[in-house]
Structure 1
Amino acid sequence: MTAKPDTRHRLKLILAEAALETVPREIWGHPAVYKHARRRGKPPASMLLDRSIHHQAMKRLPGAEKRGRPDIVHITLLEALGSPLNKEGLLEVYVHTLNDYVIFIDPSTRLPRNYNRFVGLIEQLFDEGQVPPEGKPLLWIRPMTLQRLLQEIGATYVILLAEDGERRRLRDVAEEALQHAPATAVVVGAFPHSDFSEETRRLATRAYSIYRGEPLETWTVVSHLLAVTADMLNII
């Protein structure tokens, strides 16, 4: 008989300041946005901001280098939700967006692998507040700061993975996270460029860097973290 997983080792993973938002009002009238909205038959307010489509329009936006990359969340969530750690019931994943919304995710959720279908799903989530719109939700979204999220999920020990953090081996980071679990939250940035806000940095108990070379993609960091953690728990 297979032993049940020890939920005391459950890890909380937060994709923070994620570059995930609907098209902001300031650029609704830009030709690139207008044409895209007309082609899709949707109002700009109901579409996700995507740099690959709205690059020219985004030049008008403040902090543009940190915005408009839904693919980062998509790929990273596929990695996390498909991980052995999640399959064993030892992972909670949350998405905190740059504009202070939080997406809550049922661990059993199977996201579409196709990017366009994922975009449609998240657009529906922003419109309806939950997916599916009726019945038990698999995804639901609420306006919420990162600080409030940490309080709500009982995360009192916060490990921030940042390029300029203290150099630490990933295995040591995972061990420290497990020592304080289930009160540990590991926070990983889900934006393409720039850095964490000071508000986010102030919430961290520890800030670590796991690699001193070129910046790693969010999904690479998460994939390695979850694999190392699963190995330490003898899951893989």
Structure 2
Amino acid sequence: MLHLVIAEAELELVPEEIADHPAVVNYARKRGKKPNEVILEGSYHHSALKKLPDGTRRGRPDIVHVCLLNALESIANKENLLRVYVHTRNDEVVYIKPETRLPRNYNRFLGLMESLFKKGAVPKDLELLKLEEKSLGKLIAEIGPDEVFIMHEEGKLVKPRDFGRVLAELENPLVIVGGFPHGDFRSEVRGKRVSLYREPLMAWTIVNEIIVNLESVLL
């Protein structure tokens, strides 16, 4: 079973310090919601992000959306060989059941995430998505992997197909992929650093390469 964590993802509700910014207020009004009930989104809140620490890095729920679509629709997930989690910059963890089918439409996805942050689970009865306050370290300890791999542009260069073989030989591997657009992990993460290419890759490309090359060995 491969455990895949999209870590330090830039997925959060609009923080209080910019909740009164015109860009946020106008956007929330159009959505029929309060400013602090909407997901921070760089395309809509660009001017407000300039007032936040790490503003150039935040407001990227699109990274999570594409990564999850790729992972949840994969053959590995359909064959019950994969578990996917999202860890956010604010130390929250989204648990995702394998049978979850996310909206393909991005705006509908944002609405779903807003409901998740408000209710703690969606839908309430099935809890296909569940949100808990939890650090990355605690999540890793909870999973109890036999090995942790961190995808990093400065990691050891490994061919994707060889990495697929490495993962296939382990019973309970965990792979961490950064859910942010640039920069490094903000917290210390322990594990083997691995790079699949000589140049930086988008998070969703890394997710694809990991899953497809694991499938090529196991299926």
TM-score by shorter chain over 0.5: yes
Who is 2:198 aligned against? 212
d(CA) in 1 for partners of 2:181 and 2:66?
Answer: 13
Equivalent pair of 1:65/1:194 in contact (CA under 8 Å): no
Identity %: 48
Equivalent pair of 2:168/2:217 in contact (CA under 8 Å): no
SS in structure 2 opposite 1:14?
strand
SS in structure 2 opposite 1:227?
helix
Equivalent pair of 1:177/1:186 in contact (CA under 8 Å): no
Who is 2:115 aligned against? 124
SS in structure 1 opposite 2:127?
coil
d(CA) in 1 for partners of 2:56 and 2:86?
Answer: 19
d(CA) in 1 for partners of 2:52 and 2:169?
Answer: 42
Please identify runs of 4+ aligned residues in structure 1 that moved more than 6 A.
none
Question: Letter of the aligned partner of 2:53 in structure 1?
Answer: P
SS in structure 1 opposite 2:44?
helix
Who is 1:192 aligned against? 181
The correspondence for 1:172, drawn from 142, 145, 162, is: 162
The correspondence for 1:14, drawn from 5, 23, 29, is: 5
d(CA) in 2 for partners of 1:191 and 1:45?
Answer: 21
Question: Letter of the aligned partner of 2:147 in structure 1?
Answer: Y
Task: Mark the runs of 5 or more structure 2 residues left unpaired by the alignment.
Answer: none
Question: Letter of the aligned partner of 2:10 in structure 1?
Answer: A
1:16, distance to aligned residue in structure 2 (A): 0.5
1:47, distance to aligned residue in structure 2 (A): 0.4
Q: TM-score, normalised by structure 1?
A: 0.90
Task: Mark the runs of 5 or more structure 1 residues left unpaired by the alignment.
Answer: 1-9
d(CA) in 2 for partners of 1:181 and 1:46?
Answer: 40
Aligned pairs (5 A) from 1:61-100: 61-100=52-91
Question: Letter of the aligned partner of 2:184 in structure 1?
Answer: D
1:198, distance to aligned residue in structure 2 (A): 4.0
SS in structure 2 opposite 1:158?
strand
Question: Letter of the aligned partner of 2:148 in structure 1?
Answer: V
SS in structure 1 opposite 2:177?
strand
SS in structure 2 opposite 1:164?
strand
Aligned pairs (5 A) from 1:130-149: 130-133=121-124, 135-149=125-139
d(CA) in 2 for partners of 1:65 and 1:59?
Answer: 7
1:195, distance to aligned residue in structure 2 (A): 1.1
Question: Letter of the aligned partner of 2:181 in structure 1?
Answer: P
Alignment: residue pair count: 219
1:177, distance to aligned residue in structure 2 (A): 2.1
Question: Letter of the aligned partner of 1:24 in structure 2?
Answer: P
State the Cα RMSD in Å. 1.0
1:164, distance to aligned residue in structure 2 (A): 1.0
Who is 1:57 aligned against? 48
